[in-house]
Amino acid sequence: MTVDAVSSTTGSDNQRVNNNDSNELSSNMQHHLLYTLGCFDHQKAKDWSQALALAVRDHLMHDWQQTRLKETTYETKRGFYLSLEFLLGRSMNNAVMSMGLRSSAGRALQELGQAYEELESEERDAGLGNGGLGRLAACFMDSCAALALPVRGYGIRYEYGMFHQSIREGRQFEQPDHWLMAGNPWEIEQADRTCTVKFYGRSEFYVNDAGASCKRWVDTHDVLAVPYDMPIPGYKNGVVNTLRLWKAAATHEFNLQDFNDGDYADAVAQKNLAEQITMVLYPNDASENGKELRLRQQYFLASASLQDVISEWCVKHGDDFSQFAKFHCFQLNDTHPTLAVAELMRLLIDEHGLEWDEAWEITTGTMAYTNHTLLPEALERWPVRLLGELLPRLLDIIYEINARFLAEVAHRWPGDVERQRRMSLIEEGQEPHVRMAYLGIVGSFSVNGVAALHSELLTRGLFRDFFALWPEKFNNKTNGVTPRRWLAHCNPGLKQLIDSCIGKEWVCELDRLEHLKNYADDAAFQQQWMDVKQDNKRRLAALVKDKCGVDFDEHFIFDIQVKRIHEYKRQLLNVLHVIHLYDKITRGDAEQVAPRCVLIGGKAAPGYFLAKLTIKLINNVAAVINSDERVSERLRLAFLPNYNVSAMEIITPAADLSEQISTAGKEASGTGNMKFMMNGALTIGTYDGANIEILDAVGEEHFFLFGLKEDQIVKHRMQHSPSSIVENDLDLARVIGLLQCGHFSMFEEGIFQPLIDSVLNPHDPWMTAADFRSYVDAQQRAADAYENKKLWTRSSILNTAMSGKFSSDRTIREYAQDIWKIV
Ligand code: JN2
């Protein structure tokens, strides 16, 4: 087979221009510009961008309506994805590609004197998430729509998304992200679906009309939940699913009372209190801060979403819930929305008159819980006192669930009081807490981890008692990412090349990429593959130059680590290696160091001292390296500020080497690792999370594996001795020496001591010193491999070819078949 000539990147999806579509887009854009946006003259790119978005939205409204109408016939079971985060990024290209409008939009804009790419980049990212968990939710929504599955997302419409990060004097500086400021053409307010969420007050006994003793929640402070719907278009299949995001608003009664008392200012302050709930996304990825406002967000989402689903049900079925579980499944994205378990019980019992047992059967027949981390600091526990104050009726219900559950434990293990204490939903102590993960397990029929190793560690460790009780509940669903955004959209050059060889069907059937294996040894194809990579590297180099002022040379290997900054992800290990290379070159071993550009990006939680210090270290080391002429032919380092979804779309296609270097057993899955693999990067990684499955898929000769494995980490932890490691490793000793002597902190004496201490601490949980030598050796293997361009390119092709498993379409098919039972 010969390889077709492929033109350079055009961003086109090879669709022919449809004159109807193009004319319709054009006239709708002009209409919206005047009538919706009120632009009388001097239209700017951002105005055109919004007009285009509105015109594209018009185009999908009919499919959206049809999809919605089908949902409420209750002919099939539906899924609901409850998540505090949906890290969507931009919507424009996703919609345009899905509707097959790329060429028509290009033509329409050309006639209006506008460039599609420019308008596309005007859109602000919807940064409604922190990292992995939030982006996964967005990929899942895309896959559900692509597979035409009746799944709706429920989340929060944060006024302020993930903070904007800039770098000042090498340090992270946070600014609020007021992403809705200029309006959001991708949302539609559905005011008539507003519902009321209760807070505070107390729960009291009363006797109902039938003479039964019941409980009710009274004297509450109510908050309105107003839904905003975002379309989730399926890829060229006529499906448009819905992501419903809730905004908090004050009730009228709320401020009327104070208003009548004459205290106008207080009334307005109360209004602010209500609206605070959806004001801001908490930016502490994978660690809990225990703030009451966060608990209010969680309950607000759980309650509004369940009320919404139930009210839809009641239109058709009244208070007959006998078939409810047959038609609904709720997937809880980590423990953040797990109050849904208690809230569904409350709604069914208090508001719809069901008996406990009936309500419990429905709850445990519809709830499913996904765990996304083993890190102890991320395990949610809420003080009983706080829950009792904010949500008194829910605390009642949680106590009742616990009493019945502990009776089951006692029945299974008579007399095992210690086990009951361990498994209780309530952690006793000075300040008793509710263990949210346990509530999730007890209240669900399914509990899953997000990669094979992670799911296994859950059943062996954290949840072992529950696994012993209910082994059938536990399962694995290895994560995936959407190939529409993470290959077809972000890498148009590679998309065209792949299309020309194996056809276009791979976009929705990623396993077909395996056919690329046939081209892995084809010299002409390899050359085209390298050309595309080179183009992508130039595009990233321009971004790095623009944002960091650092010159990246596209002939160097692009070595990239982008993800949240966290000790367990070991950006510090990466920097230690860069310092080692710098040391090697400056002491005269330059010949042995292959030219390399290292890019690191990511946000630190604003209160995470060591993560922020790591950013400072990266920037200081970069400043020294990039201004030292002795190393400029071999080494560059840059820290990319404000890493987000849109930045990742430029970064992934340009990577040669993907850094996935977490301490084994700590990264639940990782999903950036999958995006890089799909785009033909080779991975340098530990035996952790989904890295293991990537390694299995592509084979050891195309992956740079290093470091202790999870069981070895556990064994070595006790005798971990960084000082003797340093004594026996001259390279590491020199790196530590350079840090100690202030080489990277000239006028900031001692600032990096806490980082040095963390590496030298025998109780270092991340075992950085233990993996240093193995990491440096793996980096050497990678550098050597890169010297042979043909072999490297072959490995690159094979990485893409074998990445089919990591499509979120595969993951979602598994959820739909094994958990939701909707296919
Ligand atoms: C998470 C897990 C994750 C969290 C985030 C407080 C906590 C939180 C809690 C978020 C907040 C906001 C628990 O680290 C894993 C990755 O390995 C995995 O690939 C992804 C997707 O499964 O989930 C990450 N966990 F305020 O993001």
**Domain co-membership, 424 together with 533:** no
Answer yes or no: is the C-beta of 78 below 6 A from any ligand 1 atom: no
Going by CA atoms, what residue is nearest to atom 4 of ligand 1? 286
**Domain co-membership, 373 together with 269:** yes
On average, the pLDDT of the chain sits at 95
pLDDT tens per residue across span 512-553: 999 999 999 999 999 999 999 999 999 999 999 999 999 999
Task: Give the residue numbers marked as catalytic.
Answer: 372, 563-564, 569, 671, 675
Q: What are phi and psi of 381, to 5 degrees?
A: -140, 130
**Domain co-membership, 702 together with 618:** yes
Choosing from 479, 514, 545, the residue where a domain stops is 479
Choosing from 479, 497, 516, the residue where a domain stops is 479
CA distance 258 to 800: 63
CA dihedral (241, 246, 251, 252) positive or negative: negative
Q: What is the pLDDT of residue 4?
A: 38
**Domain co-membership, 282 together with 415:** yes
**Domain co-membership, 571 together with 704:** yes
CA distance 372 to 457: 12
As for how many domains the chain has, the answer is 2
Q: What is the pLDDT of residue 256?
A: 58
CATH number of the CATH domain containing 293:
3.40.50.2000
Q: What is the pLDDT of residue 253?
A: 65
Answer yes or no: is the C-beta of 373 below 6 A from any ligand 1 atom: yes
**Domain co-membership, 665 together with 682:** yes
pLDDT tens per residue across span 731-757: 999 999 999 999 999 999 999 999 999
Question: pLDDT at residue 200 above 80?
Answer: yes
Choosing from 445, 479, 513, the residue where a domain stops is 479
Least trusted range by pLDDT, from 154-158, 281-285, 816-820:
281-285
pLDDT tens per residue across span 594-637: 999 999 999 999 999 999 999 999 999 999 999 999 999 999 99
Distances (CA, A) of 505 to 8, 31, 237, 331: 21, 36, 13, 29
Q: Which two tokens stand for residue 164?
A: 């904007």
Q: How much is the average pLDDT of 304-331? A: 97
Scanning the structure block, which residue is given the tokens 């409420």? 72
State which ligand 1 atom lies nearest to the alpha carbon of 136.
21
Residue 378 CA to ligand 1 centre (angstroms): 8
Q: Which residues span the domain enclosing 335?
A: 140-149+189-227+243-479
Q: Which of 562, 558, 518 is nearest to 534 (CA)?
A: 558
Within a domain: 758:
no
Within a domain: 278:
yes
Tell me which DSSP letter residue 447 carries: E
**Domain co-membership, 494 together with 429:** no
Answer yes or no: is the C-beta of 87 below 6 A from any ligand 1 atom: no
Answer yes or no: is the C-beta of 670 below 6 A from any ligand 1 atom: yes
**Domain co-membership, 298 together with 326:** yes
Local confidence band at 340 (pLDDT 50, 70, 90 cut-offs)? very high
**Domain co-membership, 534 together with 557:** yes
Going by CA atoms, what residue is nearest to atom 3 of ligand 1? 286
Distances (CA, A) of 189 to 229, 595, 809: 6, 53, 29
Scanning the structure block, which residue is given the tokens 């060591």? 610
pLDDT tens per residue across span 634-683: 999 999 999 999 999 999 999 999 999 999 999 999 999 999 999 999 99
Distances (CA, A) of 808 to 267, 478, 485: 47, 9, 11
Distances (CA, A) of 318 to 106, 261, 323, 363, 709: 50, 40, 12, 18, 55
Within a domain: 119:
no
**Domain co-membership, 531 together with 596:** yes
Answer yes or no: is the C-beta of 295 below 6 A from any ligand 1 atom: no
Residue 376 CA to ligand 1 centre (angstroms): 12
Q: What is the pLDDT of residue 652?
A: 98
Residue 768 CA to ligand 1 centre (angstroms): 22
Residue 690 CA to ligand 1 centre (angstroms): 14
Q: Which of 592, 596, 565, 506 is nearest to 755 (CA)?
A: 565
Tell me which DSSP letter residue 565 carries: -
CA distance 483 to 508: 8
Q: Which of 409, 473, 389, 453 is nearest to 711 (CA)?
A: 453
The half-sphere exposure of 146 on its side-chain side, counting CA atoms within 13 A, is: 29
Q: Which of 190, 267, 284, 260 is nearest to 230 (CA)?
A: 190
Question: pLDDT at residue 263 above 80?
Answer: no
Local confidence band at 2 (pLDDT 50, 70, 90 cut-offs)? very low
Residue 285 CA to ligand 1 centre (angstroms): 6
CA distance 96 to 88: 15
User: Cα–Cα–Cα angle for 474, 812, 336, nearest 5°?
Assistant: 60
Indicate the SS3 state at residue 681.
coil
Answer yes or no: is the C-beta of 298 below 6 A from any ligand 1 atom: no
Q: What is the pLDDT of residue 663?
A: 98
**Domain co-membership, 513 together with 448:** no
pLDDT tens per residue across span 204-261: 999 988 888 899 999 999 999 999 999 999 999 999 999 999 999 998 765 556 666 6
State which ligand 1 atom lies nearest to the alpha carbon of 282.
26
- Amino acid letter for position 381: R
**Domain co-membership, 385 together with 492:** no
Q: What is the pLDDT of residue 15?
A: 62
> To the nearest whole percent, how much of the chain has pLDDT over 70?
97
Question: pLDDT at residue 9 above 50?
Answer: no
Going by CA atoms, what residue is nearest to atom 27 of ligand 1? 133
Answer yes or no: is the C-beta of 667 below 6 A from any ligand 1 atom: yes
**Residues 778, 110: contact at Cβ < 8 Å?**
no
H or E element that contains 127: strand 126-128
Within a domain: 122:
no
Q: What is the pLDDT of residue 255?
A: 56
Question: pLDDT at residue 268 above 80?
Answer: no
| Beta carbons within 10 angstroms of residue 361's beta carbon | 15
Answer yes or no: is the C-beta of 669 below 6 A from any ligand 1 atom: yes
Local confidence band at 17 (pLDDT 50, 70, 90 cut-offs)? confident
Within a domain: 114:
no
| Beta carbons within 10 angstroms of residue 75's beta carbon | 9
Q: Which of 702, 660, 703 is nearest to 685 (CA)?
A: 660
Higher pLDDT, 536 or 15: 536
